[in-house]
Amino acid sequence: MSQRLVITGLGATTPLGGTVPETWDAALAGTPGAKTLEHEWVAQYELPVTFAAEVAVEPSEVLSRPETKRMDRSTQLGMVAAREAWADAGLKDVELDGERVGVSFATGIGGVWTLLNSWDTLREKGPRRVLPMTVPMLMPNGASGAISLEFGAKAGARTAVSACASGVEALIMAQELLETGQADVVLAGGTEAAVHPLPLAAFANMQALSRRNDDPAAASRPYDVDRDGFVMGEGAGALVIETEEHAKARGATIYAELAGGAVTSDAHHITAPDPEGLGATRALRRALESAGASAADVSHVNAHATSTPLGDVPEYIAMKAAFGDHLDNVCVSATKSQTGHLLGAAGAVESVLTVKTLADRKAPVTINLDNQDPEIPLDVVSGTARELGAEEQVGICSSFGFGGHNAVVAFRTV
Amino acid sequence: MADKNAILAGLAEIVEEETGLETEEIQLEKSFTEDLDIDSISMMTIVVNAEEKFDVKIPDEEVKNLTTVGDAVDYIANAAG
């Protein structure tokens, strides 16, 4: 199949805003999403990390009360983003053949709040008080299932689960549904809602989280010499992906082309990235290959760049290996400096931002880059947003996850 | 707790929370499945929440006999003594 795939709708609810326009404006301006947590449980458990990047708009402000009761917070956020993307694509009142509509949605952890709250209920009140909706709420495919119901999508509702690579992997799974002719339209994306004391404690004990408790706004600082870990974030991103033929037949507005994508696995270590970035390099090269592009075509990368001391360097090494000297001509945005790390939603939200970058020809800023690490001599967009030229642009979004997962997608301007 | 009006009001709150229906719609003669469109998982959620709220036990095998809101109010009133 040589059918071109295009992006026709975008949705997001993030620490920067409850919609794509709000998130995008904040991302261009440079807005720290991390704040001191005000939940009782922070002091109760004496958590070593007392801040995170929570969503700017609570899902309960947007969803009905029964929806908030019957969906885990992760599914709630996914639903908010999915509805925005669907409406943005102009599909809200359009009658589609459900058997040609698919879903591919990601999560890193799934319904962790539901799982742990139900466990508390069981221990405190006994098994009879465990709500019957517990399983459909905690299962990792909860969001894909709920979203397929929402839009009557019957071509398959897939779930990508590959830790922090999940969001991008969901787009690649969507691409497969479309390229193999199983669907004409796929709602793809990812969600995460894991700002809960247990994941916070566990990530902190791995020494993965920033401890900058006295200055949360400055804590997420990819590529800066003083970076000391990632900042937990939550949120969701969603994209409507269609075959070009289908999009044009219905006169849809096209943001960008989903040109290609690839996944690889390191088989190196369960959490540490391959120090030479070999798996990431292969993913970058294969994504370009599948996009019919060469390294010289790439003008922008929305990097994984989590702000951990060990993670940011191998990603640079991989980019250098894949793009060679052309890397000097590639502008890189590390938007986790603003949003924090949305785990399984990260690649989805960052894909939304990459698509916006190409559509608006403006790359968002990387904040907190005060002293760039000399080991990472990238052209990082910092200070103010960067204008991209009017010529054809290829933008890359890459995500890497525990388990050794590497996922890369390539978008092209239209 | 055997005040049936109080039980109806409390039950209506639980049903509203689960389904989004207005509490005024939750009337004694309404059938859970036919009128209120409540599926089996929602029904069990309502039962679990009602047990907690009214401090009663509603065995699973009794739930199928609770056709209307009134059946549930009567059952809870009797069980609460």
Tell me which residue range forms the domain holding A396: 261-412
Q: CB of A295 within 8 A of CB of A286? A: no
Q: Which helix (H) or strand (E) holds A8?
A: strand A5-13
* A269 shares contact with chain B (CB less than 8 Å): no
Question: Among partner residues B20, B44, B52, which is closest to A66 by beta-carbon distance?
Answer: B20
DSSP string, A35-48: EE---HHHHHTT-S
**What amino acid positions of B are annotated as catalytic residues?**
39
- pLDDT tens-digit map of A121-152: 999 999 999 999 999 999 999 999 999 999 99
Residue A99 CB coordination number (10 Å):
14
Could you tell me which chain B residue has the CA closest to the CA of A129? B48
Greatest CA span in chain A, whole angstroms?
A: 64
For A224-260, the pLDDT digits (tens) are: 999 999 999 999 999 999 999 999 999 999 999 999 9
Degrees to nearest 5, angle at CA A402 with A396 and A407: 25
Q: Is residue A256 part of a domain?
A: no
Q: Are residues A111 and A40 in the same domain?
A: yes
Same domain, A139 and A169: yes
Q: A247 vs A108, A165, A167, A240, CA distance in Å?
A: 30, 28, 23, 10
Pairing of strands A157-160, A101-106: parallel
Distance in angstroms (rounded) separating the CA atoms of residues A302 and A16: 17
Residue finishing a domain among A215, A249, A283? A249
* B45/A contact by beta carbon, under 8 A: yes
Residues 367-386, chain A, touching B (beta carbon < 8 A): none
> Do A244 and A289 lie in a common domain?
no
Q: Which residues of A285-318 are buried (b: 16+ CB within 10 A; e: fewer)?
A: bbbbebbebebebbbbbbbbbbbbeebbbbbbbb
Per-residue pLDDT, A184: 98
Residue A168 CA from chain centroid, whole number: 7
Are residues A238 and A350 both part of a single domain? no
**Residue B25 at interface with chain A, using a CB cutoff of 8 Å:** no
B80 — pLDDT class (breaks 50, 70, 90):
confident
What pairs with residue A233 in β-bridges? A53
Q: Which of A145, A127, A128 is nearest to A136 (CA)?
A: A145
Interchain proximity B45–A132, CB inside 8 Å: yes
The CA distance from A350 to A257, in Å, is 15
CA distance B15 to chain A (A): 10
Q: Which of A83, A71, A73, A77 is nearest to A17 (CA)?
A: A77
Q: What is the pLDDT of residues A174-183, one digit of tens each?
A: 999 999 999 9
pLDDT band at B2 (very low <50, low <70, confident <90, very high): low
On whether both A204 and A85 belong to a single domain, the answer is: yes
Of A6, A169, A144, give the one whose Cα is nearest residue A71: A144
Instruction: Return the CATH number at A407.
Output: 3.40.47.10
CATH number of B4-79: 1.10.1200.10
Q: Is B20 on the interface with A (CB under 8 A)?
A: yes
Average pLDDT over residues A43-59: 97
**Judging by DSSP bridges, how do beta strands A235-243 and A256-265 pair with one another?**
unpaired
Residue with tokens 């036919």: B34
Same structural domain for residues A152 and A273? no
What tens digit of pLDDT does each residue of B46-64 get? 999 999 999 999 999 999 9
Long-range contacts of A28-32 (CB under 8 A, 24+ apart): A28/A362, A28/A364, A28/A365, A28/A385, A29/A365, A29/A385, A30/A338, A30/A364, A30/A365, A30/A367, A30/A383, A30/A384, A31/A338, A31/A367, A32/A216, A32/A217, A32/A218, A32/A220, A32/A337, A32/A338, A32/A367, A32/A368
B41 contact residues in A (CB cutoff 8 A): 132-133, 136
DSSP three-state, residue A165: coil
Neighboring chain B residues of A149 at a CB cutoff of 8 Å: none
pLDDT for the residue numbered A81:
98
Segment A84-132, tens digit of pLDDT = 999 999 999 899 999 999 999 999 999 999 999 999 999 999 999 999 9
Whether A33 and A167 share a structural domain: yes
Q: Is residue A407 part of a domain?
A: yes
Residue A22 maps to a domain: yes
- Active-site option among A155, A164, A293, A380: A164
Residues A204, A117 share a domain: yes
Shared-domain flag, residues A52 and A184: yes
Angstrom distance (rounded) from CA A24 to CA A357: 9
| A354 bridge partner residues | none
Q: pLDDT tens digit string along A174-230?
A: 999 999 999 999 999 999 999 999 999 999 999 999 999 999 999 999 999 999 999
SS3 assignment, position A122:
helix
Q: How many domains is chain A partitioned into structurally?
A: 2
Q: Residue A249 burial by CB count (10 A; 0-12/13-18/19+): exposed, middle or buried?
A: exposed
Q: Which DSSP string do the residues of B36-76 spell out, in sequence order?
A: T---HHHHHHHHHHHHHHHT----HHHHTT--BHHHHHHHH
User: Which residues in chain B touch residue A128, judged by CB atoms under 8 angstroms apart?
Assistant: 48, 51
Q: Which residue has the tokens 């004694």?
A: B28
Task: Verify whether residue A331 is a known catalytic residue.
Answer: no
Q: Are residues A204 and A307 in the same domain?
A: no
Answer whether B76's CB lies under 8 Å from B61's CB. Answer: no
The residue among A223, A249, A275 that closes a domain is A249
Whether residue A149 lies within 8 A of chain B, CB to CB, comes out as no
Q: Which residues of B touch A142 (CB under 8 A)?
A: none
Residue A314 has pLDDT above 60, yes or no: yes
Domain boundaries, chain B: 4-79
> Is the pLDDT score of A82 beyond 90?
yes
With 60 as the cut, is the pLDDT of residue B1 above it? no
CB of B50 within 8 Å of a chain A CB? The answer is: no
Phi, psi of A89 (to 5 degrees): -80, 0
- Per the DSSP assignment, residues forming a β-bridge with A331 are A300, A379
The pTM assigned to this predicted structure is 0.96
Which of B18, B44, B52 faces A69 most closely, judged by CB atoms?
B18
Q: A9: closest CA among A355, A262, A339, A335? A: A355
> Cβ-count burial of B29 within 10 angstroms (0-12 exposed, 13-18 middle, 19+ buried)?
exposed
Q: What is the mean pLDDT of chain A?
A: 97
**Between chain A and chain B, how many beta carbons pairs sit less than 8 Å apart?**
26
CA distance A280 to A102: 28
* A132 shares contact with chain B (CB less than 8 Å): yes
Q: Do A326 and A269 reside in the same domain of the chain?
A: yes
What SS3 state is found at A279? helix
A243 in the Ramachandran plot: left (φ > 0), alpha (ψ -120 to 50) or beta?
beta
Mutate to test the interface with A, among B13, B21, B26, B42 (most CBs of A within 10 A): B42
Domain boundary among A249, A274, A305: A249
Query: What is the reported pLDDT for A1?
Result: 44
φ, ψ for residue A65 (rounded to 5)? -60, -45
Contact A131 B48 (CB under 8 A): yes
**Is residue A254 domain-resident?**
no
- Structural domain includes residue A255: no
**Banded model confidence at residue A399, pLDDT cuts 50, 70, 90:** very high
pLDDT at A2: 63
Contacts of B44 in chain A (CB under 8 A): 132
pLDDT band at B81 (very low <50, low <70, confident <90, very high): confident
Do A224 and A301 share a domain, yes or no? no
pLDDT in tens, A13-39: 999 999 999 999 999 999 999 999 999
How many Å is the maximal CA-CA distance in chain B?
A: 30
